[in-house]
């Protein structure tokens, strides 16, 4: 409970009346915007209002921003996961499609090679050495694989088995420096020995200068070879020449097989 003190009432009422009348007068007169006071007041208040507005908006918007940021982060993470999953699925699908094509070709090839008994095998990997061109395959002695067996695919001769274990084997590729196979020109029947170079290139040696060989000729395994059946495609002649006093041709062969992309192959049992 508070007691009010005595006040100078009359003067205050007079002041109030004057102010009210002045306000009404100004409101309905040409002095409505007294000497641009509103404009000045607006200019003075602007920076304070602007700062207050920014602070207010930031304060009010902060929780929503934090919540949104959290949502955005989780959504982003989910989308990334989905994208990765989809990418992985696409890669798997691509691989399956490729494998499907490969297997179809392999099946057709196996059916066409009725003269051989073939054992299909998949490539496990490449033997990690810079010196040899060797593949590791998923068939071994348990599957009837033995040393020296020729390995082919639908493109042609790949190489031969050089090592076996129960469930896997190693294939020395035709392009290895250690490889050699007696071969013949399918057109002219001139014979020679195809050797690997360690690169994606083969050389055919001991082709007599009196023989006939030219670029584009198909080179196949020869019937003289004891290691490989006759008639298996080895490659095509990419370059063949002889100098005046040479007794043999210099023959370069482009392999029939794409050695870098072998996935499925057959071992001739």
Partner 1 sequence: MRSVKSVVFIGLLLILQSSVFSRLSLFGVGPDLVLVAVVIFAVLNQDEKSTQFAAGTAFLQDLLSYGMYLNLVLKVAYTALINAMKKSFMGSEFFLAAVLLALFTLITFILTGIICPLLGGKPIDYPAWLLTVLIAMLYNLFFLPILFPILSNLSHD
Binding site for partner 1 (CB under 8 A): 1-2, 4-9, 11-13, 15-17, 19-20, 23-24, 26-28, 32, 37-38, 41-42, 45, 48-49, 52-53, 56, 60
- Please choose, from the candidates 127, 115, 121, 76, the residue with its C-alpha nearest in 3D space to the C-alpha of residue 102: 121
- Please choose, from the candidates 178, 169, 189, the residue with its C-alpha nearest in 3D space to the C-alpha of residue 231: 189
Name which of 1 and 260 has its Cβ closer to partner 1.
1
Q: In whole angstroms, how close is the CB of 16 to partner 1 at the nearest point?
A: 4
Name which of 19 and 72 has its Cβ closer to partner 1.
19
CA neighbours within 13 Å on the CB side: how many for 18? 6
C-alpha 141/C-alpha 135 separation (Å) is: 16
Q: In whole angstroms, how close is the CB of 38 to partner 1 at the nearest point?
A: 5
Q: In whole angstroms, how close is the CB of 83 to partner 1 at the nearest point?
A: 40
Name which of 26 and 79 has its Cβ closer to partner 1.
26
Name which of 18 and 227 has its Cβ closer to partner 1.
18
C-alpha 233/C-alpha 113 separation (Å) is: 13
C-alpha 102/C-alpha 111 separation (Å) is: 14
Q: In whole angstroms, how close is the CB of 73 to partner 1 at the nearest point?
A: 28
Q: In whole angstroms, how close is the CB of 44 to partner 1 at the nearest point?
A: 9
C-alpha 107/C-alpha 110 separation (Å) is: 5
Beta bridge partners of 194: 181, 204
Q: In whole angstroms, how close is the CB of 63 to partner 1 at the nearest point?
A: 16
Name which of 56 and 65 has its Cβ closer to partner 1.
56
What is the C-alpha radius of gyration for the chain, rounded to an integer number of angstroms?
45
Name which of 53 and 68 has its Cβ closer to partner 1.
53
C-alpha 212/C-alpha 226 separation (Å) is: 24
């Amino acid at each position: 409970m508070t007691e009010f003190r005595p006040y100078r009432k009359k003067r205050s009422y007079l002041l109030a009346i004057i102010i009210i009348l002045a306000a009404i007068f100004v409101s309905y007169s040409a002095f409505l915007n007294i000497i641009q006071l509103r404009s000045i007041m607006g200019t003075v208040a602007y920076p304070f209002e602007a700062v207050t507005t920014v602070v207010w908006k930031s304060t009010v918007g902060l929780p929503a921003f934090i919540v949104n940021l959290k949502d955005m982060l989780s959504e982003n993470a989910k989308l990334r996961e989905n994208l990765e999953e989809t990418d992985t699925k696409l890669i798997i699908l691509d691989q399956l499609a490729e494998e499907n094509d490969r297997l179809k070709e392999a099946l057709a090839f196996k059916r066409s090679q009725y003269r051989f008994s073939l054992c299909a095998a998949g490539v496990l990997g490449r033997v990690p050495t810079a010196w040899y061109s060797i593949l590791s395959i998923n068939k071994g002695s348990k599957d009837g694989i033995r040393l020296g067996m020729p390995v082919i695919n639908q493109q042609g001769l790949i190489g031969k088995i050089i090592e076996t274990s129960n469930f896997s084997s190693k294939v020395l590729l035709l392009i290895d420096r250690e490889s050699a196979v007696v071969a013949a020109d399918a057109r002219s029947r001139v014979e020679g020995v195809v050797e690997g170079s360690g690169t994606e290139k083969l050389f055919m040696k001991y082709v007599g200068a009196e023989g006939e060989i030219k670029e584009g000729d198909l080179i196949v395994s020869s019937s003289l070879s004891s290691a490989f059946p006759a008639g298996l495609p080895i490659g095509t002649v990419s370059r063949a020449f002889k100098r005046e006093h040479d007794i043999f041709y210099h023959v370069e062969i482009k392999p029939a097989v794409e050695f870098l992309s072998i996935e499925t192959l057959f071992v001739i049992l």
